Chains A and B, each alone.
Chain A
Amino acid sequence: MFTLAKNELYRLFLSPLAWIILALTQLILAYLFLSHIDYYVQIQAKISTIPGAPGVTELIAMPLLNNAAILLLLITPLVTMRLIAEERRNESLPLLLSAPLSIYEIVLGKFLGTFGFLMILLLLIILMPVSLSIGSHIDFSLLASGFVGLTLLLASFTAIGLYLSSLTKQPTIAAMTTFSSLFLLWIIDWAGNSQTVGESSGLFSWLSLLRHYQPFLQGEVHSSDISYYLIVSITFIILTVRRLDSERLN
């Protein structure tokens, strides 16, 4: 399982895709990071007199993590699309299927490999707000809460992407469906928020990936939000296993 994860990660770094993703994400977020700092410097004088005013972490780190989540929503489909679809197209899946591995091990290995890559990306992102601690005081527990939230969010992104990649032979189709699903799960909250929708709004906002992410950014770690992300991840991993299993049977 870990061999597979390692191999997945290694092969990802052999392609230019991984490096380009790392570099460009860093570039975009660094720009946002700087503009947040700029904004903070402008208003710092005004808010410094107010007691209990939001600090560096609230005004710079948390918006950055919020932006990072949206950017990762766009990026994850590009990383997950090749997972199974490409193996199928290259007909390299028999290599794993005829090895003494269970389908669980194969799927978890692929999941962990991709998740590992996104964690590397996340660590690089989190280094930016952490660097502020050189010249300022940082609320590390708030930052940790945001980090945990984003980690869980990425796990569900990866699981959904993995499942959709197992449905097709074309990586681009996998990318497109993953992107649409993630985006839909993101904005479904808007319907939930609008006043016109009656009863169902509660369900819609509960389904929203965004809705469960926001509390983490405010430093609130609810077990219900954690369970939501774990349920989403585990469900889609199991669906992938079942999908590959049924392919053998039918």
Chain B
Amino acid sequence: MSSPLLSTRELSRHYGSQKAVNRVSFAINKGEVLGFLGPNGAGKSTTMKMLSGNLAPSEGEITINGYDLLTQPKQAKAHIGYLPEQPPLYKELTVKEFLTFSAHINKIQSSKVKSAVDSVIERCGLTNVIKRLIANLSKGYQQRVGIAQAIIHNPAVVIMDEPTSGLDPIQIREIRHLIRDVANEHSVILSTHILPEVQMLCDRVQIINQGQLILSDTIAGLSQQMQSSSLLIELGSPPDHNELNSLTGITQVDVLANNQFRLHYQPEKNPTDMLISNAVTQQWQLKQLTPEQHSLEDVFMKIIQEEQAV
């Protein structure tokens, strides 16, 4: 089995007495897309900065393609591309000038610079704007230039810090599409606080909170976590509260406003079918029935609470 492309061991980072990142260990294999999920201030950006060599870890080590980032930074950095939250651009340059410069500083051979720039322009859909100043581009296009800059030297791992923040929905869709293209050829580490993004793009997800890795799972595993065990219903002529409560499997009934109820049930006994047939036979006039999904916050809360309980 091949060794992972990028791995960290017991990575920690303190700001004074505050532990921004605390003993985080993980690895990413070739061709994988790893999502880093967490609320604001959880330590996502700090981790990304450490992985890209912008910040030195207080403790722990990072290995990229066999090179230690701390002792062999030049070799290690040649294998990573980094897109910070704010794309690092020289806005007075045109797109082509900027990408040529990035190619040079990433030590691409002079004879290959032109083809590298051309191919990255094509891949990131920048063909129409190559002669425009970066300052005059929309935020979505600036983000594309940022991604182009990160993949120009064909790195093994591309690290992106909240690549879709601050974009409009159409641009978000386009950038996600581009990220998926990038993921076909590179391993990608992506940080975000948007759950659907992770579901769309990633193979594996890690949840980080208060500097600690609290969950590392596949996307399917995360979806499982999000399965809730409650239904939201609205009835035109609701029966007695107790009658609902007596249905098999229902553990608790919350009465909400406007004839709405929230039914909690035991996960293994889903009462939906029975509820529907009862509603028809007893003319409860079912108007709404929604299986509730946990939001990301709920999952966080649940996992965090489990952590504390243990």
Interface, chain A (partner B; CB < 8 A): 3-4, 7, 10-11, 14-15, 90-102, 248-249
- Do A94 and B52 form a contact, CB below 8 Å, given A3-B105, A100-B107? yes
Q: Which of B165-196 contact A (CB under 8 A)?
A: none
Contact A100 B106 (CB under 8 A): yes
Which one, A14, A90, A95, A102, contacts B102 given CB within 8 A? A95
Contact B105 A99 (CB under 8 A): yes
Residues of A within 8 A of B55 (CB): 248
Which one, B73, B78, B90, contacts A92 given CB within 8 A? B90
Contact A100 B75 (CB under 8 A): yes
Contact B101 A98 (CB under 8 A): no
Contact A99 B92 (CB under 8 A): no
Stretch at the interface among B18-26, B79-87, B227-235: B79-87
B77 contacts A by Cβ under 8 Å:
yes
Contact B56 A90 (CB under 8 A): no
- Do A91 and B86 form a contact, CB below 8 Å, given A11-B92, A100-B106, A248-B56? yes
Q: Tell me the count of chain B residues lying within 8 A, CB to CB, of chain A.
A: 30
How far, in whole Å, are A4 and B82 apart by their CA atoms in the complex? 19
Which one, A7, A15, A91, A98, contacts B80 given CB within 8 A? A98
How far, in whole Å, are A99 and B92 apart by their CA atoms in the complex? 20
Contact A98 B74 (CB under 8 A): no
How many Å from the CB of B19 to the closest CB on chain A? 15
16 CB < 8 A contacts A-B:
A3-B101, A4-B105, A90-B88, A91-B84, A92-B89, A92-B90, A93-B54, A93-B88, A94-B82, A95-B88, A98-B52, A99-B105, A100-B73, A102-B73, A248-B53, A248-B56
Contact A14 B93 (CB under 8 A): yes
Residues of B within 8 A of A99 (CB): 77, 102, 105-107
B206 contacts A by Cβ under 8 Å:
no
Q: Is the interface of A mostly helix, strand, loop or mixed?
A: helix
Contact A249 B56 (CB under 8 A): yes
Contact B77 A100 (CB under 8 A): yes
Contact B105 A248 (CB under 8 A): no
- Do A94 and B105 form a contact, CB below 8 Å, given A11-B90, A15-B92, A100-B74? no
Residues of A within 8 A of B49 (CB): 94
Residues of A within 8 A of B89 (CB): 90, 92, 95
The 9 A-B pairs of least Cβ separation, nearest first, read: A95-B88, A98-B82, A92-B88, A3-B104, A91-B86, A98-B52, A100-B78, A100-B77, A99-B105
How far, in whole Å, are A230 and B55 apart by their CA atoms in the complex? 31
B7 contacts A by Cβ under 8 Å:
no
How far, in whole Å, are A96 and B90 apart by their CA atoms in the complex? 11
Chain B residue with minimal CB distance to A95? B88
Contact B88 A94 (CB under 8 A): yes
**Binary interface encoding of chain B residues 49-85 relative to chain A, with 1 for a CB under 8 A from any of its CBs, else 0:** 1001111100000000000000001110110111010
Contact B106 A91 (CB under 8 A): no
How far, in whole Å, are A96 and B54 apart by their CA atoms in the complex? 9
Q: What would 19 more interface pairs be, CB under 8 Å, given A94-B49, A94-B54? A: A7-B90, A7-B101, A10-B97, A14-B93, A90-B90, A91-B86, A92-B88, A92-B89, A92-B90, A93-B88, A94-B84, A95-B105, A98-B52, A98-B54, A98-B81, A100-B74, A100-B107, A101-B77, A101-B105
Q: Which of B278-310 contact A (CB under 8 A)?
A: none
